[in-house]
Amino acid sequence: MEPGDVVKYLKSMSISILMMLLLTYGMATKNPLLQPTWIIIIVIGAQMGYQMIKSARSRSVLEANMLEATRARKGAALFEASDDDVNKAKKGSIDEMSMSTKMIIMMIVPLVIFIGSGYVLSMLIPEIEQWQSYMIGFLLSMAVSMIISFKVKIVPGSMAATPNSYIINDKGIAFNHMNQSFILRFPLIKIDSHREKNFIEVEGKPEAQVIPNKLRLFTHKIDQLEKVLTKRVVSQDIHKG
């Protein structure tokens, strides 16, 4: 666990923290404007508006990236992995826990803690205010969620996209993800090899929120891929496993 990971986690939880503060304050003061329905509508509306504005501002960057990715696929390739290559490498990959299982654990366990702690507190301390039990339950669930996210290695903001196929040339890694073409430009910030799992994880400089800058490149040709990528890491931050 690194300090940067904690900061990323707290940022990802900022909306939830804001909602809980408004909710508990409304309960404590009995303010009719700060009730759950209004809080959810206002916060979700504000978040959607922010995302729409951010997406609009990054549209030109996205279009330029996708156009360059299309051109890069037509050039000479230093390394290439087709859909079939990636799927075969995935099937032979050794992983401790599937991503779907990790996500279920991260959602269910904190929710159980949140609901259960409020029930237990009301039994142990009958005089406790409802807003106080909500706040305590939320803080406990957030702490548990943070611990789980680090234990199962899903730190918000650090998850890598897994391309269905990719081509590497002198400009970068052109890849297909979610039925769209992107390019992760060189130089890379770091690479991390996972030979026993048949993939190399790479990180490049971020361009826009909608463009993945962290990729998990599956292949059975780890040595060949690593040789190509190692020459294109700006900080020479290379981890081999």
Model pLDDT, residue 47:
72
3-state secondary structure at position 159: coil
Instruction: Kindly indicate the confidence band of residue 135, based on its pLDDT and cuts at 50, 70 and 90.
Output: confident
Strands 188-194 and 233-240: parallel
Domain residue ranges of the chain, discontinuous segments joined by +: 3-54+98-151, 58-95+159-240
The pTM (predicted TM-score) of the whole model is: 0.65
3-state secondary structure at position 218: strand
Instruction: Kindly indicate the confidence band of residue 94, based on its pLDDT and cuts at 50, 70 and 90.
Output: low
Q: Hey, which residues does 73 pair with through a beta bridge?
A: none
> Would you state the CATH architecture of domain 58-95+159-240?
Roll (2.30)
Report CA dihedral (162, 168, 173, 179) to the nearest 10 degrees: -50
Instruction: Kindly indicate the confidence band of residue 101, based on its pLDDT and cuts at 50, 70 and 90.
Output: low
User: pLDDT at residue 2 above 80?
Assistant: no
User: pLDDT at residue 240 above 80?
Assistant: no
Model pLDDT, residue 96:
46
Tell me which H or E stretch contains 42. helix 36-57
Of 85, 113, 83, the C-alpha closest to 177 is 83
CB 70 within 8 A of CB 180: no
| Segments in 73-125 forming alpha helices (H) | 83-91, 99-124
Extract the tokens encoding 192. Answer: 């991390």
